[in-house]
Amino acid sequence: MNLEKVVIVASKSRYELELLRYENEEKARKEYVSSVWENIKEGHLAQKQNLSKLEPYFYTEQVIDRSGLTPTTMNNHDAFVFLGGDNHFTYCSQVLLQYLQENPQKEKVILGTVLDPKRSWGGQLYFTVDQFIHFLPDLEENDFKIENWTALETTVKKGEKKMLLYPAINEIFAGETKRWMMSRNNVYLDGKEIFPDKSSGILIATGSGSGPGSWYDNVHALTFDQSDTFPRTADYARVILTEHKSRSKITLEKGQVLTIYSSNDDAGIILPDSHQQHAVSFPMGTSAEIRISSVHLPIVGK
All domains of the chain in start order, with CATH: 3-144 (3.40.50), 152-293 (2.60.200.30)
Q: What are phi and psi of 292, to 5 degrees?
A: -70, 130
Burial (CB count within 10 angstroms: exposed 0-12, middle 13-18, buried 19+), residue 111: buried
271-300: average pLDDT: 95
25-49: average pLDDT: 90
pLDDT recorded at residue 243 = 83
Pick from 127, 259, 265: nearest CA to 184: 265
pLDDT recorded at residue 31 = 86
87-104: average pLDDT: 96
How far is it, in rounded angstroms, from Cα 170 to Cα 164?
17
For the chain, the helix, strand and coil percentages under 3-state DSSP, each to the nearest 5: 30, 30, 40
CA-to-CA separations, 48 to 14, 16, 41, 118, 264, in angstroms, rounded: 12, 11, 11, 14, 44
50-78: average pLDDT: 96
How far is it, in rounded angstroms, from Cα 54 to Cα 8?
9
Decide: 122 and 11 in contact? Cβ < 8 Å. Answer: no
Instruction: Give the pLDDT band of residue 215 (cuts 50, 70, 90).
Output: very high
**What tens digit of pLDDT does each residue of 171-213 get?**
999 999 887 888 888 999 999 999 888 888 999 999 999 999 9
Decide: 204 and 290 in contact? Cβ < 8 Å. Answer: yes
Q: What is the DSSP letter of 168?
A: B
Decide: 288 and 132 in contact? Cβ < 8 Å. Answer: no
Q: Regarding beta strands 127-128 and 109-114, do their DSSP bridges make them parallel or antiparallel, or are they unpaired? A: parallel
Q: At what angle do helices 14-22 and 34-52 cross, to 10 degrees?
A: 120
Decide: 215 and 205 in contact? Cβ < 8 Å. Answer: yes
At 244 the three-state DSSP class reads: coil
Pick from 191, 188, 201, 302: nearest CA to 244: 201
CA quadruple 138, 142, 144, 150: dihedral sign: positive
pLDDT recorded at residue 182 = 82
**Average pLDDT taken over every residue of the chain:** 94
How far is it, in rounded angstroms, from Cα 95 to Cα 193?
33
Pick from 8, 178, 183, 165: nearest CA to 101: 165
Instruction: Give the pLDDT band of residue 254 (cuts 50, 70, 90).
Output: very high
